[in-house]
Amino acid sequence: MKSKKQKLIFIITVLALICCNNKTKQQINANQNNQNKAEEDMGYISKLNENVKREKVKYKNRYGLDIVADLYYEKDINKTKKYPAIIVGAPYGGVKEQGPCIYGNELALRGFIVLAFDQSFMGESGGFPRNVSSPDIFVENFSASVDYLGLQEFVDREKIGVIGICGSGGFAISAAQYDTRIKAIATTSMYDISVSARGGLKGEALQKEKERLSLQRWTDAENGYPEYIPFFPKEPLDEVPENLDELNAEWFRFYALKRGHHTNALGGFTSTSLLNMMNFKLLDFIKEVSPRPILFVVGDRAHSRFFSEDAYKVAAEPKEIYIVEDAEHIDLYDRIDRIPFDKLENFFKTNLK
């Protein structure tokens, strides 16, 4: 009798364990589905690796503006230890849910703590009016990000580097010119916005553009809000419009299609933001980054290639320019098969030590 009862208890226990295991698997699948849905709702253009944790954080810059960022790290790290960290800045007009989420995910898997932030007036960060561009504040926000990382117990504050994608490349280098806490700098598809803001205009044409934008300030003051004209649609397109020139078609291939579209990154800034960029030189003191290293990464077909090549020529040693084969400008935003993560990993592990 006792033997039968023991067998019955054993069978019930096994069935309970099987049932519990199935429920656990269902719960794990449900949690994964919920995470994927949350990523889609937030507009992340790439899924988060199951071994990486992404944590929303907030901190202030020296102007008191809130910066919202994503902190990436491997789930199994030992937080009693200290790790090297990398700050990732989004393309000019972009947000952390676009290219930076791909960099954050990949570099976290390679042993780094990664901080991807939204610039002030953009994305989830503070600042009003929205879509204002400020060279001083955009540079300052890299230093504010260093402030934040240096206070985290599992970050080695002597091993902090930066990656600037597109326009953030210029801002990142500019920050490193004065902030010696930044120990290594890499740029991908770099833009010098202080140069591009002038659009190649000189002489009388430049003065007319300045006059137009100066008068726009009176219009903005009368309206109580600065003019902002979005460049990309609110909803992603299925294909690029046929009437665009090659440069604008390239922007549309990323920002206007599902590939990279985000509702917080509809292109451009307030019209008068250009005046501030015209009046600010980002890279005047690039030689002063030395003896800290700079790595310029750019595609062989990038329309922006000359920005990296020009900056490389002026920068002091140690410096390196790395050309990615068969890559256009936007390919280094999101294409895992083009972004040279092995190169970036080696660069930072060599120089953050």
Tell me, what's the pLDDT at 109?
99
Q: Is residue 111's pLDDT more than 60?
A: yes
Tell me, what's the pLDDT at 330?
99
Tell me, what's the pLDDT at 23?
52
Summary mean pLDDT of the chain? 93
User: Are the C-beta atoms of residues 87 and 71 closer than 8 Å to each other?
Assistant: no
Residue 40 pLDDT grade (very low, low, confident, very high; cuts 50, 70, 90) = low
How many CA atoms lie less than 13 Å away from 222 in the CB half-sphere? 5
Tell me, what's the pLDDT at 91?
99
- Rounded to an integer, the average pLDDT of 136-148 is 99
- What distances in angstroms separate CA 195 from CA 52, 162, 272, one per listed residue? 37, 21, 16
Q: Is residue 26's pLDDT more than 90?
A: no
Q: Is residue 230's pLDDT more than 60?
A: yes
Residue 29 pLDDT grade (very low, low, confident, very high; cuts 50, 70, 90) = low
Residue 198 pLDDT grade (very low, low, confident, very high; cuts 50, 70, 90) = very high
Q: Is residue 125's pLDDT more than 90?
A: yes
Element containing residue 212 per DSSP (H, E): helix 203-223
118 DSSP 8-state letter: P
Identify the CA nearest to 82 among candidates 159, 165, 10: 159
Q: Which residue(s) pair with 66 in the sheet?
A: 60
User: Are the C-beta atoms of residues 348 and 184 closer than 8 Å to each other?
Assistant: yes
- Rounded to an integer, the average pLDDT of 269-294 is 98
Tell me, what's the pLDDT at 8?
53
Tell me, what's the pLDDT at 42?
85
Q: Is residue 33's pLDDT more than 60?
A: no
d(CA 73, CA 52): 6
Tell me, what's the pLDDT at 28?
46
Residue 21 pLDDT grade (very low, low, confident, very high; cuts 50, 70, 90) = low
d(CA 190, CA 196): 11
CATH number of 43-192+282-351: 3.40.50.1820
Structure tokens at 285: 């003191």
- Rounded to an integer, the average pLDDT of 91-119 is 99
Tell me, what's the pLDDT at 220?
99
What are 299-326's pLDDT values in tens digits?
A: 999 999 999 999 999 999 999 999 999 9
- Rounded to an integer, the average pLDDT of 160-178 is 99
DSSP secondary structure letters along 24-73: HHHHHHHHHHHHHHHHHHHT-SSPPPTTEEEEEEEEE-TTS-EEEEEEEE
What are 43-67's pLDDT values in tens digits?
A: 999 999 999 999 999 999 999 999 9
Domain boundaries, the chain: 43-192+282-351
Question: 204: buried, middle or exposed (CB in 10 Å: 19+, 13-18, 0-12)?
Answer: exposed
Q: Is residue 174's pLDDT more than 60?
A: yes
d(CA 215, CA 233): 28
Structure tokens at 253: 């291939």
Tell me, what's the pLDDT at 162?
99
Percent of the chain with pLDDT over 90: 88
**Complete edge-to-edge strand list for the sheet that includes strand 319-324:** 52-60, 66-74, 113-117, 83-89, 155-165, 184-188, 294-299, 319-324
